[in-house]
Chain A
Amino acid sequence: MPNKAIAEKGPEPVAIDAIIHRHNLERGAVIPILQEIQQTYGYVSKAAIQRIAENINVSASEIFGIVTFYAQFRLEPLGKNLIKVCHGTACHLSGADMVTDTLAQVTGAKEGETSQDGLFTIERVACLGCCSLAPVMMVNGEVHGRLTPERVSKIIKNIRKNETTSPAE
C-alpha cells in the first residue's frame, strides 16, 4: 500500500535511484522501473521521471510520453483505497454505470477523482476478466462481484469502519 506521508511530500530522489538501480539501466527497463515506482509510491512523480531520464539517458519528455501513453500510470498521488470499476462489455450491460454512480454518491468522488477525505480514488478499467460476476469492481486488488447499489454502499461503509477502528499507520 502506498504510504500517504510519502505521497504528500513526494518521494526522495535517493530512494527513487535505489529503485532504478535494481534494474538494468537500459531502455527496455523503463516500464518495469515505472511500475515499481508506482507500486511503491502510488504514483509517478515529476522527480521520478527526471531521475529515470538521467539514469537511463532518455529524455524526460520521452519518459513523460510513456507515462501518459499507458493507462496504468498516474501522475498524482492516490487516495488510501484504490477502487477500479470494471467497464467491460458484460459489466456495461449489467450496470457498470450504476456502480460508478453509487460510488460517487457514497464516496463523493467521481470517476478519475480522489475523495475529499483522501480515502478513495475511483478509476475506470477496461475489463477485469470476471465477466460472469458482472458488474464488478476491484478494491485494493480484491475483486467484488454481483454488485448492487446496496452492496457497493456496504463495501464502502466497511472500509470506513475499519479506517476509524484501526489506528492510523
Chain B
Amino acid sequence: MSSPRDEGWLIRVGLASCGIAAGAKEVYNALSARLGDKGLGVTLKKTGCIGMCYNEPLIEVVSPRKERTFYKQVTPDKINRIISEHLIQGKLVTEWAVPDEEINRLLAKQQRIVLRNCGIIDPESIDDYLAVDGYKALKKALSTMSPDEVIGEVTKSGLRGRGGAGFPTGVKWGFARKSSGELKYLICNADEGDPGAFMDRSVLESDPHSVIEGMLIAGYAIGASQGYIYVRAEYPLAINRLELALADAKKAGFIGETILDSNFSFDIKIRQGAGAFVCGEETALLMSLEGRRGMPRVRPPFPAQSGLWGKPTNINNVETLANIAWIILHGASVYSKYGTEKSRGTKVFALAGKIVHGGLIEVPMGITLREIVFDIGGGTSSGLELKAIQIGGPSGGIIPASLMDTPVDYDSLTQTGAIMGSGGLIVMDETSCMIDIARFFLNFIQKESCGKCPFCRIGTRRMLEILERITEGNGKKGDIELLAELAQNVKRASLCGLGQTAPNPVLTTIRYFRNEYEEHIYQKKCRAKKCHALINYTIIPEKCTGCGVCAKYCPVEAISGEKKQPHLIDSNRCIRCGLCMKVCRFDAVSVGSREENA
C-alpha cells in the first residue's frame, strides 16, 4: 500500500457484523463527519473483523510512523477526545486503548494465514486486496503451473478440509480432476450452520476476494468452468460483500472468459441457503442447489463422480479455500511447517461463551486447548472455574477441564469423543449444566434432521425426550443406559454426517459428567442451577429495597410486595425464567435447589 496518503494518519474501523451490531457504523459516520470538518489529512478505512470481538466497536489508529493503537468499545462521543489528544497532540488516550500486553498475549500464539487480511484491508475494495498480493497466486498458477502441479502443491501442503471432516483437499481435487466430463462444478460451502460458529462469516465479510481467488485456483486445478457459493441467507452482509467482490473481480478480468490470457474460463454465482442445517452436508447441499428438499443421498457415487446435475463436482469449505492462494504463493513447504505431522497448517476458531477474550483466532495445529482458552482467551469471563469446552458444534462434543492439555489436531480431538469440526469453541464455567447443553444440541438436531433416516428422525426424538425428562426432574433409573444405546444406533443407522455425529454431545457428556446425570435423576438436583424444574428463586429480604423492578419484568406476575418493602416470589406461579435475578440491581434474588430454598 504505497499511496502518498499513507504518510499521514490512518484510522481503521472494524465493520463486520459483530462490529456493526455493537455500534461501529455510528462510530464510522461520526469519524467521517469529524475528519471531514478538520481537514487533518487522515485516511479513514472500513475494514472487516480483526478478531477482538469482545472489544467491539473497535478502531485502530495508525500513526505516520506506523505505530498501531487499538481503541476499544468506542462510541461516537469518545471520538473528539481521541482525535484531539492522539492525532493532534500525539498523546494516547490510555484508558480507552487496548493495552499492548493484551494484544501481545492475544497474538503471541496465533498464526494468521486464513485471517491474514481480516481487519487490515477494506473488504469492499479490490485495490486493497491487490495491494496485499491479491490474485498473484492465481497469476502464478495460470502462468507457471499445470493443474496437476497445483493439485500436487495443495496435496503436499497437507491441507485438510476445514469444514469438519478433515479430508485431504489435494486428494479430493484429484478425484474431481480425474472424473471425465466437459462440464464440472466447483462449490464453495458457506452454509455455516453450527450454532456458535462464525469463522466463515468473518472471512467472507472481511476478505471475500481471498475465497474467490481460492475458488478460481481450485476451478483451474480440477477443470471446472462454473462455481457456486452456497451461503446462508442469515449472513446478509457477507452476501453483499461477496456480490461486490465478484463484480469487481469480473471487471478486473479475474473471472470470466480466458482469464489473464490463459485458456481457463470460470464464472461464479451466489446461491443463498434457505435455512436448513443439513445442507452443510455435501449431497444435501447439491439437492438444495438443484431446487429440491435438502436431503442427503447415498454415496457412492461421490460428488466428484456425479454431483450437481449429475456432473463431477468438488465442494470445499470457505476456510479451506481461503488457505489456497497463500499456499500457492508461499509454497506447500512453508505451509506445512505449521501444525503437526497429520494436521498441517492452522485452524480458525470462533471463541465464545464464558470467555474473557471472545472472538476469532487462528492458531497453528498442535496448540493445546489450554493455550487457546487461557493464554489467548484469557480464561473464563465470570472468573469462575472452567468446567468444559464444547467444540465442533452439534456434531462435536464436550471436553472437560481435566483434558485441556489435549493438542488441537484432528486425531487427538477425535479420541476425546469430540471432533475438530468447523471451528466453534464454546467455553463453559460451572454455571453451565451439562445435561442442559446435551439437550440444547439434541433439540437443535431434532429440528434439523431431514427425516430421511428413521434412527436420526425418531431416535434423536426419543433421546431428546429422555433428556427433557431428566432436566424436568422425572429421570428414571436406566435412562443413561438407554441414551447410550440409542446413541450407538443413531450413529450406526444414519446415512449422513448429521445423524452419524448427532449423539456426540450426549455421549461426551455421559462420558465425562455421568455424575451430573445421576444427580439429576436420583437427587433431582442441578448443580449449575439451570434446569428450571429443579431450582427455586427467592428474594433475600435483607437485600431487597422494594424497588419493584423485578415485579415489573416478571412475565407471570409471580412477584408481589409493597413499594419500598421486601418483595416475595410465589414459587407456585414462578416459571423460573430468571428475569428477576437478571434485572435486580441489588443482588437480592437468589437461586437454589428446589428443596434448599423451599
Interface string of B269-301 (1 = CB under 8 A from A): 001111111000000000011111110000000
* Closest residue of A by beta carbon distance from B424: A89
Residues of A within 8 A of B544 (CB): none
Complex CA gap A129/B291 in Å reads 26
A83 in the interface (beta carbon within 8 A): no
A127 in the interface (beta carbon within 8 A): yes
Q: Does A132 lie within 8 Å of B54, measured CB to CB?
A: yes
Partner of B353, one of A28, A70, A93, A143: A93
| Most-contacted residue by chain B among A32, A88, A148 (CB, 10 A) | A88
Residues of B within 8 A of A136 (CB): 21
Complex CA gap A127/B353 in Å reads 13
A78 vs chain B, min Cβ distance (A): 15
B490 vs chain A, min Cβ distance (A): 20
Residues of B within 8 A of A66 (CB): 291-293
B386 in the interface (beta carbon within 8 A): no
Q: Within residues 437 to 473 of chain B, which ones have a CB less than 8 A from any CB in chain A?
A: 437, 440-441, 444, 448, 450
Residues of A within 8 A of B274 (CB): 31, 34-35, 70-73
Partner of A101, one of B22, B292, B444, B555: B555
Counted as pairs of residues, one from A and one from B, with CB atoms less than 8 Å apart, the total is 157
B241 vs chain A, min Cβ distance (A): 14
Q: Does A71 lie within 8 Å of B18, measured CB to CB?
A: no
Q: Is the interface of B mostly helix, strand, loop or mixed?
A: mixed
Complex CA gap A51/B573 in Å reads 50
* Closest residue of A by beta carbon distance from B18: A130
Partner of B195, one of A28, A89, A94, A101: A89
* Closest residue of A by beta carbon distance from B291: A30
Partner of A105, one of B432, B450, B555: B555
Q: Does A133 lie within 8 Å of B196, measured CB to CB?
A: no
Interface-facing stretch out of B61-69, B206-214, B231-239, B514-522: B231-239
Interface string of B194-209 (1 = CB under 8 A from A): 1111100100000000
Q: Does B577 lie within 8 Å of A90, measured CB to CB?
A: no
B75 vs chain A, min Cβ distance (A): 13
Interface-facing stretch out of B111-119, B244-252, B564-572, B578-586: B578-586
Residues of B within 8 A of A87 (CB): 195
Q: Within residues 173 to 207 of chain B, which ones have a CB less than 8 A from any CB in chain A?
A: 192-198, 201
Q: Within residues 10 to 67 of chain A, which ones have a CB less than 8 A from any CB in chain B?
A: 26-32, 34-35, 65-66
Q: Does B291 lie within 8 Å of A31, measured CB to CB?
A: yes
Interface size class of B (residues with CB under 8 A): 35 or more
Q: Does B21 lie within 8 Å of A133, measured CB to CB?
A: yes
Q: Does A127 lie within 8 Å of B193, measured CB to CB?
A: yes
Partner of A132, one of B53, B271, B293, B424: B53
Q: Does A129 lie within 8 Å of B192, measured CB to CB?
A: yes
Partner of B198, one of A73, A94, A131, A145: A131
Residues of A within 8 A of B441 (CB): 89
A72 vs chain B, min Cβ distance (A): 4
Number of interface residues of A (CB under 8 A): 50
A128 in the interface (beta carbon within 8 A): yes
Q: Does A130 lie within 8 Å of B276, measured CB to CB?
A: no
B500 in the interface (beta carbon within 8 A): no
Residues of A within 8 A of B450 (CB): 69
A7 in the interface (beta carbon within 8 A): no
Residues of A within 8 A of B18 (CB): 130, 132-133, 143, 145
A92 in the interface (beta carbon within 8 A): yes
Complex CA gap A148/B553 in Å reads 11
Contact A131 to B582, CB < 8 A, known contacts A66-B293, A93-B426: no
B428 in the interface (beta carbon within 8 A): yes
B233 vs chain A, min Cβ distance (A): 6
Q: Does A97 lie within 8 Å of B195, measured CB to CB?
A: no
Q: Does A88 lie within 8 Å of B196, measured CB to CB?
A: yes
A85 in the interface (beta carbon within 8 A): no
B503 vs chain A, min Cβ distance (A): 17
Complex CA gap A133/B192 in Å reads 18
Q: Does B276 lie within 8 Å of A70, measured CB to CB?
A: yes
Residues of A within 8 A of B354 (CB): 93
Residues of A within 8 A of B323 (CB): none
Complex CA gap A98/B553 in Å reads 11
Q: Does A143 lie within 8 Å of B195, measured CB to CB?
A: no
B591 vs chain A, min Cβ distance (A): 14
Contact A127 to B426, CB < 8 A, known contacts A132-B358, A133-B21, A148-B582: no
Q: Does A133 lie within 8 Å of B291, measured CB to CB?
A: no
Q: Does B290 lie within 8 Å of A27, measured CB to CB?
A: yes
Complex CA gap A94/B381 in Å reads 12
Q: Does A29 lie within 8 Å of B291, measured CB to CB?
A: yes
Q: Within residues 95 to 151 of chain A, which ones have a CB less than 8 A from any CB in chain B?
A: 95, 97-98, 101-102, 104-105, 125-134, 136, 141-146, 148-150
Complex CA gap A90/B351 in Å reads 10
Q: Does B198 lie within 8 Å of A70, measured CB to CB?
A: no
- Identify the 8 closest CB pairs spanning chains A and B, nearest first: A132-B53, A71-B275, A131-B352, A89-B196, A70-B274, A129-B198, A143-B21, A88-B195
* Residues in chain A within 8 A of chain B (CB atoms): 26-32, 34-35, 65-66, 69-73, 87-90, 92-95, 97-98, 101-102, 104-105, 125-134, 136, 141-146, 148-150
Q: List 22 A-B contacts (CB under 8 A).
A: A26-B291, A28-B309, A35-B272, A65-B293, A66-B293, A69-B293, A69-B294, A72-B273, A89-B353, A89-B426, A89-B437, A89-B440, A92-B440, A93-B353, A101-B579, A105-B555, A126-B193, A126-B275, A127-B193, A131-B424, A132-B53, A133-B18
